[in-house]
């Protein structure tokens, strides 16, 4: 059985707590630039996307390979949304979510990472609802997802932490490179989902 570490900001399997706390420390202070990039890379490794993540981290956002990768991300996310089975009453949610993806990609291309992180966080909340229904809004959602698949649980935990990047009163004001490094984790994960 896995040991669990729990507090109001971190509910994660013990074996993942080190990599998770390196990226989003419990003390609310986000890591400095260099240690933040290292922490993001370690987190990507744990999610199983390390090689592609490291490759993409060095690209400029307007490089042809990055534009192509973002096109793959947008297509894959669109497919994920389309293939999600929902009740008839939730069909409009799917359509609105699909409409939210192109502005996210545009923010990334413009290197407006604070806005991209906010948009991505909203997209991930809706995507969780489409995947897991009302379970995604319950207090035990992380435990539920970790039981399904540990890496998937770690990803949804990551998504729940993105809001910390836009609260400068609680942490250091993250720089663009760190914000991009954290954002790229989710983009790589969903592109390869």
Q: What is the pLDDT of residues 154-185, one digit of tens each?
A: 999 999 999 888 755 544 546 788 999 999 99
CA separation for the pair 49, 191 (Å, rounded): 10
Q: If we measure between CA atoms, which residue out of 161, 101, 94 comes closest to residue 133? A: 94
pLDDT for 33 equals: 67
The residue behind tokens 């990047």 is 165
Average pLDDT over residues 144-152: 90
Give the Cβ contact number of residue 34 at 10 Å: 10
pLDDT for 6 equals: 45
pLDDT for 61 equals: 64
When divided into structural domains, the chain yields a total of: 1
Residues 6+ positions from 9 with CB-CB distance below 8 Å: 24, 26, 28, 161
Task: Give the dihedral sign, CA 165/166/171/173.
Answer: positive
Residue 59 has pLDDT above 90, yes or no: no
pLDDT for 91 equals: 83
Phi, psi of 175 (to 5 degrees): -80, 170
Average pLDDT over residues 10-37: 78
Structural domain span for residue 128: 4-191
Average pLDDT, the chain: 85
Q: What is the pLDDT of residues 86-141, one digit of tens each?
A: 778 778 888 899 999 999 999 998 989 999 999 999 999 999 999 998 899 999 99
């Amino acid at each position: 059985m896995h040991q669990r570490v729990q507090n109001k900001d971190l509910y994660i399997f013990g074996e993942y707590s080190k990599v998770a706390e390196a990226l989003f420390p419990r003390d609310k202070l986000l890591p400095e630039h260099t240690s933040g990039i290292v922490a993001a890379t370690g987190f990507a490794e744990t999610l199983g996307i390390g090689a592609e993540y490291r490759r993409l981290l060095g690209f400029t956002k307007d490089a042809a390979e990055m534009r192509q990768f973002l096109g793959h991300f947008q297509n894959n996310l669109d497919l994920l949304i389309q293939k999600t089975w929902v009740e008839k009453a939730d069909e409009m949610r799917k359509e609105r979510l699909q409409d939210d993806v192109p502005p996210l990609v545009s923010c990334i291309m413009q290197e407006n990472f604070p806005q991209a992180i906010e948009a991505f966080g909203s997209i991930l909340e809706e995507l969780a609802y489409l995947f897991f229904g009302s379970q995604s809004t319950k207090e035990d959602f992380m435990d539920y997802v970790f039981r399904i698949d540990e890496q998937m649980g770690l990803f949804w935990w990551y998504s729940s932490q993105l809001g910390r990047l836009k609260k400068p009163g609680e942490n250091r004001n993250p720089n663009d490179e760190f914000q991009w490094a954290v954002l790229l984790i989710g983009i790589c994960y969903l592109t390869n989902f």
